[in-house]
Chain A
Amino acid sequence: MSYTPEMRESIKKVEATRPARLDQPFPRLAPEEKERLLERFHPDYRAEGFRDIRVGPNKGEKAPNELVDVLEGRSHLTSDALDLTRIDYDTDVLIIGGGGAGASAALLARENGAGVILATKLRLGDANTMMAQGGIQAADKPNDSPVIHYLDIMGGGRFVNDPDLVEALVIDASLVIQWLGDLGVMFDKEPDGTMMTIHGGGTSRKRMHSARDYSGAGIMRVLRDEVRSYPEHITVLEFSSAIELLMDDKGQVAGAILQNLETGEHLVVRARCTIIATGGSGRLHYQGFATTNHYGATGDGLILGYRVGARLLHQDTMQYHPTGAAYPEQIVGQLVTAKVRGLGAQVVNAEGNQFVYHLETRDAEASAVIRECTERGEGVETPSGMLGVWLDSPMINIIHGPGTIEAKLPAMVRQFKRFDIDITKDPMLVYPTLHYQNGGLILRPDGSIPGIPNLYGAGEISGGVHGRNRLMGNSLLEITVFGRRAGRAAALRAKEVELGKLTLAHVDEWNKQLQEAGIDNPILSPILLPDYARKVR
């Protein structure tokens, strides 16, 4: 599975230009250049990829076609489908989603006195959080401050972020790193305890903390183990997907209907407060892109919230990670962590020439790669016809000394070694891959969802924190910061909630709106899992 002779030829050119590239820094994009590059090559600007939403709170606004399909979907249920007086679980706080945001919320809800049910689609921790490699940002070094972090985030997000959410994020950042450390997360440290931190795209200070290149796993494994330490207060329901929120006759959110993915059984969960922490939507494959996301990332929470009136923000912008694997075929779309560039590896074309500074923000970096492979025709073609450019990983050991790649990027080394590619010696072929949902449900800084009583959200589901472009390392931060905030706020709120009679009337109302908007043959949504099974006759 190692490289083809044609690819080898191109690698020779990469090696030939390497010494010069090591010495000569490539210029960063000027702000106007960057604007132009994005407009011409970023998938968010491809008009054919988008259309207007015809129903619900964001009616008349644009979203990617695949997201509109599920937003305009019909409920799996009707109001009379289930006997809502037969309650399977009754709880203070229901958390939907067992990734980093959900687990953090569960821990803080418990700490604040709530009984918790955590329902998740696959197993606890089968989630995008587990896959994060690069790291988590926090301004905890003397040359840094939350204010500088704030500026980086606003600029990266193109100044449309919600300032209050960004403030919450940067102020809580160091607290969260300390919390995670106390729970036993092993951050990379110097022998004297100083955090090893590096740059990420768009950072002005080295504030990326890591746990080797298993940063997300390092966090998720610990959060999962901690959640399992409190079985008397946190009940975990695996393979249980939320398919609809429940309301009561006072217009409050009052829990959810879960579906057991294996048996199809429906469960009625009545909850004083409900937290949506279902993560992203890469498995909707916007514009046909391959994705880095886990199997269950189908945007379900956006739909659940939208149907009870929660508004979306920046739902028309997705993050394409500039470096998804383009070869070998078996791992196309999977992430090559940004840490590879953070450690100095440059991105170069088939001729071995650098064409973009390697630490631009992701949107710009991805656009430059797309330009190189399309308009400029300088991409490398794989046997399956896919195009890509080289990410020159061997540079890292030259810059930082032998053994650095092996020590800092074990997951990457392993992933490619499985297919006979040695990234300490040869570069990797990459192409942008669908990575992150920049927008989502509008939140307040305490995680509550405006206008919808008793409903909270946290994590990749949110909109506003990152504006139109998230910087690497701010998402692991977001899920812990807002997971904790939502968990706490929901637990406190639960103490005063008085629920009325449960109802699914909003579902009938929704199905009626679809009809009135003339939406024929809506699909059933949320879709819960992508359908990759080949259709046999």
Chain B
Amino acid sequence: MPEELIPIYIMGKRYDVPPGLTIMKATEYAGYRLIRGAGCRGGFCGACATVYRTAGDYRLKVALACQTVAEPEMYIAQIPFFPAERPAYKLDELEPTFETLVKLYPELLRCLSCGTCTKACPQDLDVKDYMAEAMRGNIAAVADKSFDCIMCGLCAARCPAEEVQYNIAILCRRLYGKYLAPEAKHLSERVAEIKTGEFDEPMREIKSLSEEELRQRYNERDIEPA
């Protein structure tokens, strides 16, 4: 029934859709078959970055289309592609230092700490704060604070200093994971055992069991307490 519908504007054109739909589903209700702007549909991939404005408000807002409910009088446009800089590097050849960050992303030092990125982040990350950590060369802190980044690009899209925050963040997470995180000794030991063939014989034994024997062993296996 028409009176139950709400008006939204997709790239300036009006459509009437039922209330309560996400922006993504509202767009589909309007008749679009999405190709760009939809990936995971669950808030994990960052494909659906969207810019919008609501009636009577001059400010541009941003959101993930798959995670945000369409409101009446919303003016919506998707950012299907954002041409961000990702310099050429190979992790193997890098060192986990401030110098590495600045060499690859010299614009890092131009960050104004204005906080536009933090306001933009649909994951509610404090992007400005992790950028400040990057400027201090605290790679571990950047890695930790940017962990939940889905790389949608909205921070970079809004940044007046033209930083590519999310690419700096993935670089820091990788540097941390590879060079700074404490080593898991039990893992290296297990890898060594596997390479020397320690499990070859026990594997052969268990693979030689009949289904019935295997079933029995399964049902009787001891379970580590939770």
Contact = CB atoms under 8 A, between A and B. Distances in A.
Interface of A: 1, 31, 122-123, 125-127, 130-131, 139-143, 145-148, 150-152, 154-155, 159, 163, 167, 171, 174-175, 177-178, 181-187, 189, 191-195, 199, 204-206, 211-212, 214, 216-218, 221-222, 225-226, 228-229, 231, 239, 261-262, 292, 294-296, 329-331, 334-335, 344, 359, 410-411, 414-415, 418, 529, 531-536
A95 B148 CA distance: 29
A102 B41 CA distance: 20
A130 B147 CA distance: 14
A189 B182 contact: yes
A152 B206 CA distance: 12
B203 A174 contact: no
A39 to B, nearest CB: 18
B190 A174 contact: yes
Contacts of A130: 39-40, 44-45
Given A183-B174, A536-B31, A178 B22 contact: no
A125 B44 CA distance: 10
A155 B176 CA distance: 38
Interface string B209-226: 001001101110111101
Contact of B28 (A148, A204, A262, A534): A534
A233 B42 CA distance: 32
A216 B226 CA distance: 24
Interface in B102-143: 123-124, 143
7 contacts: A186-B181, A204-B221, A217-B150, A229-B88, A229-B90, A229-B91, A294-B42
Contacts of B98: none
A67 B187 CA distance: 40
Contacts of A187: 177, 181, 184
Contacts of B148: 212, 214, 410-411, 414
Interface string B22-43: 1001001111111110111111
Contact of A191 (B170, B182, B203): B182
Given A294-B41, A410-B148, A262 B184 contact: no
Contacts of B184: 140, 181, 187, 189, 193-195
Nearest to A125: B45
B60 interface: no
Interface string B147-175: 11011000000000000000000110111
Contacts of A206: 224
A186 B177 contact: yes
Nearest to B173: A186
Contacts of B40: 126-127, 130-131, 294-295
- Give 4 closest A-B pairs by Cβ, nearest first: A184-B174, A126-B39, A193-B182, A155-B218
A221 B170 contact: yes
Contacts of B44: 130-131, 214, 216-217, 411
B20 A329 contact: yes
Given A151-B214, A217-B150, A534-B29, A195 B186 contact: yes
Contact of A359 (B25, B39, B207, B226): B226
Contact of A292 (B29, B42, B203, B224): B42
Given A130-B44, A146-B194, A330-B69, A186 B143 contact: yes
Nearest to B198: A145
Contacts of B57: none
Contact of A222 (B41, B147, B174, B206): B174
B185 A193 contact: yes
Where chain B touches its partner, the secondary structure class is loop
A146 B147 contact: no
B191 A175 contact: yes
A216 B224 CA distance: 25
A185 B177 contact: yes
Interface of B: 20-22, 25, 28-36, 38-45, 47, 67-69, 86, 88-91, 123-124, 143, 147-148, 150-151, 170-171, 173-178, 181-188, 190-191, 194, 199, 202-203, 206-207, 211, 214-215, 217-219, 221-224, 226
Given A185-B177, A534-B30, A146 B199 contact: yes
Given A228-B86, A330-B22, A193 B33 contact: no
Contacts of A225: 86, 170-171, 174
Contact of B35 (A167, A204, A214, A261): A261
A473 to B, nearest CB: 15
B28 A532 contact: yes
A520 B223 CA distance: 53
A218 B144 CA distance: 12
Contacts of B170: 221-222, 225
Contact of B226 (A192, A199, A231, A331): A199
A152 B223 CA distance: 10
B199 A126 contact: no
Nearest to A167: B203
A531 B33 CA distance: 7
A163 B40 CA distance: 33
Nearest to B171: A225
Nearest to B187: A140
A167 B176 CA distance: 32
Contacts of B123: 414
Given A126-B40, A195-B184, A221-B170, 16 more contacts: A127-B39, A130-B40, A145-B199, A146-B194, A159-B215, A174-B187, A177-B187, A178-B191, A183-B174, A184-B174, A184-B177, A212-B148, A228-B86, A533-B34, A534-B31, A535-B31
B190 A140 contact: yes
Contacts of A221: 151, 170, 173
Nearest to A211: B147
A44 B221 CA distance: 27
Contacts of A1: 69
